[in-house]
C-alpha cells in the first residue's frame, strides 16, 4: 500500500509539472480555447434556466440560437459547470479542467500499466504518457479540452476492463460501463477511435482466459450498458444530423502528415494546413520512438517464458497499423472503410499512438535488466525531451465578459468560420430587436419570461395575426396557446412562426424533446438504473464476503 501511495505521488508530481503553466492567470492562446469559454457560458445559462441536459445555445447565431449542445460532447461543459460553482471563472474552468485531466490520466495510466509491468513499469509508462509531445499539443496548442479529458478517461477504462478480466470482481462491470459512457461524453470522435481499439484489446484479454464465452457476454454487456448510459447524447447527435450543416468541414485528404513530421521533432502553434505548410507538431516523440526501437530488442533478448510477450506483440502490431493510417499511403483505406472520414484528421491517431508507445515504455523496463537504472534513464529522457513543450508563449489577461459581451464571439455559431448552423436558416439576418414580432396583423406583446429554450408572453392581437418568433426553427420547438399545442410554421428565413386569432392569449414557446431524444433519455435512465443495481449488488457481495 505504501509503494502504491508513493507511486501515486510520483506520477501526480510529474503531471503537476506538465500542467503547471495552466495555473498562471489569464487565458492561454489555443485553437479552441475561446470557443470553449463561450460554450461553458451558454451551457451554464441553459442549465440554470432548468435545462439539466441543455441542447440549445440561445445567445449564439446572432441571438436566433443554435442547437449546439445537441451535437457537441457534453462532459467538458458539466465539468466546467462544477468548477465554476466553486467561484472560478469560465476561463479558469477551462484551464483547471485540463490540469486535472493531466493528473487523473497520469494516475489511471499508472494503474493500468502496473497490471502488466509492476510498480516501476507503471510509473515509467505514466510519465511517458504525460510527457508525450502530442499531449502538449492538445493542451497548449489546440486547447482541445474534450480530447484531453478523453485521454484521461480512456486509461481508466483500460484499467477497469483489465481488472475485470483478472479478478472477475463484479464491481468492475458497471465501473467499466461508466468509464465507457464518460469517454463518449468527453469526445465522440476519440471515443469512436478508442472503442475500435478497445474491442481488439478486450478480445486479447478474452483469448488469455479459460471461460471465454462468459467473458465475451459480459464484455459485450459492458459496452451495451455504456452505450445506454450515453444514449442521451449520441443517439440524437447521430440521428438528427440532417437538420444541421457544418459538422464535417475538414477534408481528410488535406490533413495527412508527412513521414518526416511524425519522426522529426518540430513545434508550432499554427493550424494543420497540409504538407509543408503545416505549423503544428505531428511528432510521435523521440523518447516514444526510442521505446519502439528498444522494446522488440528487449523482447528478443528475454529468454524466460512469459505470457506478457503476447501483449507486447499486440501493441507493436497496433503501433504499425496506426502509423500507416496516418500516412497518405493509407488514403484508400480512408476512402473504403465507413466512418473513417468521421475522424477528420489522420494525425488525430497520434492520440492512440501516444497510448500505445507509453504503455510499451513500461514493457521495456519489465523485460530489461538493471530495471531501476533503466527506469530512471527512460523517465529522464521522456521528461527532458518533453518538458520544453509544457510552456505557453504568453497569457491573455482577459475576463469572461471579454467573450460573453463581445459580438465577435457570442454572435457566431461557435465553430471555425461559423460553419455550423441549421439547414434552411438565413445567415444574413441581422440581430433582432425583439423576440416576438407581428408578421401579419397587429397588437401588443407583454413578455413575462424569456429563458434559454422557453418563452412566455401575453399577446393581444387586434385581428387574426401571424406571429414570428426570432428564434431559428429546429425540430422540437412547440407553440402553446392557453396550454394547447398549435401548429408551428417555418418562415422563408428559417424562423418560428404561428397563427394567432384576435384576442388576448397566453403564449408559451419551448423546445421539447423529439421522439429520438426521448428514446435517448429513456435509454439513459434505464441504463442508469441498471448500473446502480449492479453497483449495489457488487457492494452487497463484497460485504457478504
Q: What is the 3-state secondary structure (H, E, C) of 182-227?
A: HHHHHCHHHHHHHHHHHHHHHHHHHHCCCCHHHHHHHHHHHHHHHH
Q: Does the predicted TM-score (pTM) go above 0.85?
A: yes
* pLDDT computed for residue 178 by the predictor: 98
The reported pLDDT for the residue numbered 195 is: 97
pLDDT for res 425: 97
Task: Give residue 254's pLDDT.
Answer: 87
Task: Classify each residue of 207-223 as buried b or exposed e, where b means 16 or more C-beta atoms within 10 Å of its C-beta.
Answer: eeeeeeeebeebbeebb
pLDDT, residue 278, reads 63
Least confident piece of the model among 301-310, 442-451, 521-530: 301-310
Best CA proximity match to 53, nearest among 476, 346, 450? 476
**Quick one: pLDDT at residue 276?**
57
pLDDT tier for residue 484 given thresholds of 50, 70 and 90: very high
Q: Which of 5, 16, 200 is nearest to 105 (CA)?
A: 16
**449 has which bridge partners?**
456
- 401 or 275, which is more confident? 401
The sheet with strand 489-490 has its strands ordered as 436-440, 465-472, 495-500, 489-490
The mean pLDDT value of the chain amounts to: 94
pLDDT of 193 > 70? The answer is yes
Query: What is the reported pLDDT for 273?
Result: 65
Q: Give 116-164 pLDDT, tens digit per residue.
A: 999 999 999 999 999 999 999 999 999 999 999 999 999 999 999 999 9
pLDDT the model gives residue 88: 97
CA distance 101 to 85: 18
Report pLDDT digits (tens) over 25-69. Answer: 999 999 999 999 999 999 999 999 999 999 999 999 999 999 999
Does the pLDDT value for residue 274 go beyond 90? no
Amino acid at each position: 500500500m505504501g509503494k502504491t501511495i508513493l507511486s501515486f505521488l510520483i506520477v501526480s508530481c510529474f503531471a503537476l509539472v506538465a500542467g503547471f503553466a495552466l495555473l498562471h492567470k489569464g487565458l492561454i492562446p489555443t485553437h479552441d480555447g475561446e470557443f470553449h469559454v463561450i460554450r461553458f457560458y451558454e451551457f451554464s445559462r441553459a442549465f440554470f434556466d432548468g435545462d439539466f441536459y441543455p441542447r440549445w445555445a440561445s445567445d449564439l447565431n446572432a441571438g436566433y440560437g443554435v442547437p449546439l449542445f445537441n451535437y457537441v460532447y457534453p462532459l467538458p461543459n458539466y465539468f466546467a459547470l462544477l468548477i465554476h460553482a466553486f467561484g472560478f471563472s469560465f476561463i479558469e474552468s477551462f484551464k483547471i479542467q485540463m490540469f486535472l485531466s493531466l493528473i487523473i490520466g497520469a494516475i489511471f495510466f499508472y494503474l493500468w500499466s502496473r497490471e502488466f509491468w509492476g510498480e516501476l513499469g507503471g510509473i515509467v509508462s505514466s510519465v511517458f504518457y504525460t510527457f508525450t509531445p502530442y499531449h502538449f499539443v492538445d493542451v497548449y496548442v489546440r486547447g482541445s479540452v474534450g480530447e484531453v479529458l478523453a485521454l484521461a478517461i480512456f486509461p481508466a477504462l483500460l484499467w477497469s476492463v483489465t481488472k475485470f478480466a483478472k479478478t472477475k470482481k463484479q464491481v468492475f462491470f458497471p465501473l467499466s460501463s461508466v468509464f465507457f459512457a464518460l469517454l463518449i461524453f468527453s469526445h465522440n470522435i476519440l471515443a469512436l477511435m478508442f472503442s475500435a481499439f478497445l474491442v481488439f484489446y478486450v478480445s486479447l484479454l478474452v483469448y488469455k482466459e479459460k471461460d471465454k464465452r462468459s467473458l465475451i457476454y459480459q464484455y459485450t454487456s459492458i459496452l451495451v450498458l455504456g452505450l445506454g448510459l450515453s444514449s442521451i447524447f449520441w443517439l440524437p447527435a447521430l440521428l438528427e444530423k440532417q437538420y444541421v450543416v457544418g459538422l464535417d468541414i475538414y477534408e481528410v485528404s488535406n490533413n495527412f502528415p508527412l513521414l518526416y513530421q511524425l519522426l522529426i521533432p518540430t513545434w508550432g502553434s499554427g493550424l494543420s494546413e497540409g504538407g509543408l505548410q503545416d505549423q503544428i507538431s505531428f511528432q510521435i516523440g523521440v523518447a516514444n520512438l526510442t521505446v519502439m526501437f528498444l522494446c522488440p530488442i528487449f523482447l528478443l533478448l528475454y529468454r524466460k517464458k512469459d505470457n506478457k510477450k503476447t501483449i507486447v506483440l499486440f501493441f507493436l502490431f497496433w503501433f504499425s497499423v496506426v502509423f500507416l493510417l496516418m500516412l497518405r499511403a493509407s488514403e484508400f483505406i480512408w476512402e473504403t472503410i465507413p466512418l473513417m472520414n468521421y475522424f477528420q484528421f489522420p494525425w488525430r491517431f497520434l492520440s492512440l499512438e501516444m497510448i500505445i508507445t507509453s504503455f510499451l515504455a513500461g514493457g521495456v523496463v519489465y523485460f530489461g535488466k538493471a530495471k531501476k537504472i533503466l527506469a530512471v534513464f527512460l523517465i529522464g529522457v521522456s521528461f527532458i525531451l518533453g518538458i520544453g513543450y509544457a510552456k505557453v508563449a504568453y497569457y491573455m489577461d482577459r475576463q469572461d465578459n471579454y467573450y460573453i459581451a463581445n459580438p465577435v464571439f457570442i454572435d457566431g455559431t461557435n465553430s471555425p468560420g461559423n460553419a455550423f448552423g441549421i439547414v434552411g436558416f438565413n445567415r444574413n439576418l441581422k440581430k433582432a430587436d425583439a423576440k416576438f414580432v407581428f408578421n401579419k396583423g397587429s397588437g401588443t406583446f407583454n413578455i413575462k419570461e424569456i429563458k434559454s429554450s422557453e418563452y412566455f408572453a401575453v399577446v393581444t392581437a387586434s385581428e387574426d395575426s401571424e406571429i414570428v418568433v426570432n428564434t431559428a426553427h429546429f425540430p422540437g420547438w412547440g407553440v402553446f396557446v392557453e396550454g394547447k399545442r398549435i401548429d408551428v410554421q417555418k418562415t422563408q428565413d428559417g424562423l418560428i412562426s404561428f397563427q394567432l386569432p384576435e384576442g388576448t392569449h397566453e403564449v408559451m414557446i419551448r423546445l421539447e424533446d423529439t421522439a429520438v431524444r426521448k428514446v435517448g433519455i429513456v435509454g439513459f435512465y434505464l441504463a442508469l438504473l441498471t448500473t446502480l443495481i449492479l453497483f449495489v449488488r457488487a457492494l452487497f457481495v463484497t460485504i457478504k464476503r
